[in-house]
Amino acid sequence: MDDCDTCDSVGVPGVGALPWDIDATTEALIDRVRAGRMHELRGDVPLEDMIPLLESELMYTIVSFVECLDCGRVLFWGLCVRGNPILRHAERTDIDHRQWGAVPPRAR
């Protein structure tokens, strides 16, 4: 991405065709939120629950919008059961425009 140390370092490249390492990138986002460098704006579930929900395959796309408190932009982190993860900057209005689906109860 561009010109922000906090945003630039969040995406951990994946292996082979995978653009991003899902576990490491999610963990990097969680670390930055805990460190007060980012702020979770809205997601289908909290960042910590994205991978368990992905693995449950109860929901096919799971997204989270996280604000970077360093540059003020919004990061979109999207996971897809049978697709590639997406990490990009987003507009704040994307949050309101998204069709937020119901989150299924967590698999036990």
Using CB under 5 A, list all residues that contact Zn ion: 4, 6-7, 68, 70-71
The position carrying tokens 């360093």 is: 70
Order of strands, sheet of 61-68, starting from the edge strand that comes earlier in the sequence:
38-43, 61-68, 74-80, 86-90
Comparison of 58 and 73: residue with beta carbon closer to Zn ion: 73
Which residue, 53 or 65, has its beta carbon nearer to Zn ion? Answer: 65
Phi, psi of 26 (to 5 degrees): -60, -45
Shortest Å distance, C-beta 50 to Zn ion: 20
